[in-house]
Amino acid sequence: SVAVSPPHVGTEVSRGIRLDLVYAACTVLSRSMDDEYDVPPPASGYAYPAYTPGVSDTTATDIAGMPGSDPYSDTHESGRPASYEGAPAFGDDTHYPDPYQSSSFQDVSISRQTEPVDEFGVKPFDISVSDPIKQGDGMNAFVTYTVTTRTSLPQFQRNQFSVIRRYRDFLWLREQLLERHEGVIIPPLPEKALMGRFNPEFVETRRTHLEKFLNRVGVHPMLYKSLDLQTFLEAGDETLETAKMASKERKKGQKGGVASSLASTFSKFTQSGSDPNAPQDTGIEDLKKIVEDMDAQLCNMAKFMDKYIAKRKEVGIALSEMGLAFTQLACVDEDGLGPALTEFGNTCDKCATSDHNEVELENSEFVEFVKDYIRIVNACREALTTRTKVGQNYKHAYTVLESKRSKLNKAKAGTKEEKIHEMQRDVTDAEKRLEEAKEHFELVAKRTDEEMVRYARQKVKDWKESLVGFANMQIKHYATLQQEWQKLLPDLEAIDANKPQGRWGVPV
């Protein structure tokens, strides 16, 4: 498991902005960002068999529709993941893109774009999501997006191609990745929206996050070769729908099958007590604590940032109103102050406009970055939940074996030999299932350990670049304000207090 150090547990400024809110948020968040991880070299992962180059859309549809042949399935007929059957395992010589040289979470920092590369130094993917278009009316209305892919990977039929996808297609892809890559941190999608889902700002924000999702998947050392990703990016509508139907049928078969039976049996076992000799996942609790602490502090920070943005907007509005007051004052003053007051009011207006633009930029860049990281942390939680379930199945297999062994030992005293042979076969089968469950758990546990290390390293990079970006935005913004006030100074200094004009007409 990952070696983790335990987490260690304002002021009025220019024009009344409460930056103490930001300070408090960053202070709270820093408690959960202790990154003293024992980081190993990037580990190899396993991949699914490569999609056969040159297979046409029609051929892919025919293959997907063949009875008993599901090219999207990652499960061997024995019930074990297909990765057990000859696919490269962790630690072999299979090479994948270095997740630390190319970002796993693409373009989550301010003004940054990740350049993923494959083992030949060639960028394998450049995926864009564009042209959101509303389709239909009323309750049946939805938005479609054009997904354009440029790739150097040989399994794709062309180097550049486009497809039309909607939000539920993205959901299908992520669900497939979750199902097939147990223990992997699957990049998050933007949330569903019940209201305002056709609002232009919402649609643009969703488009950005959908593009980010695909590019994160495209640079992940395991996910970028996924057949499901290729189907999503390349397949025609008919092939995609066939793939969806195949996955639905597979899930229907699983609901009432072995998995459900195991879950029910394990639930009864946990209610009756736990065997101290049963397998234990010693590393999971530390990982869960990291995730829960980070989630709590990020949510807290998001709350502080929302307050900060609200107060910044209030300051901008107040500054604009003050500018208007000075302009109105200039209209009634006839003592030589009128021009200076007008310029003062205009400067207030310019600074208020600059403030408004700055607040919008901070909200769309930094605040959205924080909220996006909440989604990433939730994706970490998903991976750990999967590991917990696999660990429970491993423990259940152990309990079943011990129960059968105990019954066999008791039966040897006075049971018929034929019955004993049958019970021995049951023990042998249970031993085989335990070994399979152990292999499965060790695979998922190793994967989550490596994924959490990868997440930790990426988090440091992302936050560094995002904080630097935020600081540079402040520097640029306040430099702009300084220039505006400096331009005003000559008009203010030109006021001659000894020569009043207008109705008084006589020096004081």
Beta partners for residue 126, in sequence order: 150
3-class SS of residue 74:
coil
- Residue 109: the pLDDT is 31
Contact 157, 54 (CB under 8 A): yes
Contact 223, 181 (CB under 8 A): yes
- Residue 506: the pLDDT is 52
Closest CA to 182 of 3, 437, 430, 397: 437
The single-letter DSSP state of residue 441 is H
Q: How far is CA 130 from CA 166, 189, 252, 277, in A?
A: 11, 16, 34, 55
Residues in the chain: 508
Whole-number Å distance between alpha carbons of 395 and 158: 47
Contact 34, 299 (CB under 8 A): no
Tokens of 378: 């939730």
Closest CA to 236 of 3, 57, 103: 57
Tokens of 434: 């335990």
* HEC readout, 113-154: CCCCCCCCCCCCEEEEEEEEEEECCHHHCEEEEEEEEEECCC
Neighbours of 167 (CB within 10 A): 18
Beta partners for residue 125, in sequence order: 151
3-class SS of residue 435:
helix
How do 160-166 and 125-135 pair as beta strands? unpaired
Contact 437, 394 (CB under 8 A): yes
DSSP character string of 382-427: HHHHHHHHHHHHHHHHHHHHHHHHHHHHHHTTTS-HHHHHHHHHHH
Strands (E), 136-199: 142-151, 160-166
Whole-number Å distance between alpha carbons of 466 and 270: 45
The model carries a pTM of: 0.72
Contact 266, 393 (CB under 8 A): yes
Contact 151, 124 (CB under 8 A): yes
The enclosing H or E element of 289 equals helix 284-332
Surface-to-core class of residue 344, CB atoms within 10 Å of its CB (0-12 exposed, 13-18 middle, 19+ buried): buried
The enclosing H or E element of 349 equals helix 338-362
- Residue 29: the pLDDT is 54
List of residues 6+ apart from 463 with CB closer than 8 A = 33
The enclosing H or E element of 376 equals helix 368-411
Tokens of 415: 């049971």
Amino acid identity, residue 190?
P
Q: What is the pLDDT of residues 280-290, one digit of tens each?
A: 888 899 999 99
Surface-to-core class of residue 239, CB atoms within 10 Å of its CB (0-12 exposed, 13-18 middle, 19+ buried): buried
Whole-number Å distance between alpha carbons of 23 and 301: 10
- Residue 319: the pLDDT is 95
Q: Where do the H-state alpha helices sit in 6-71?
A: 20-30, 57-65
- Residue 195: the pLDDT is 84
List of residues 6+ apart from 415 with CB closer than 8 A = 423
Whole-number Å distance between alpha carbons of 221 and 180: 15
Q: What is the CA radius of gyration of the chain?
A: 31
DSSP character string of 262-279: HHHHHHHHHHH---TTS-
Low-confidence ranges of the chain (pLDDT < 70): 1-123, 255-274, 334-335, 415, 499-508
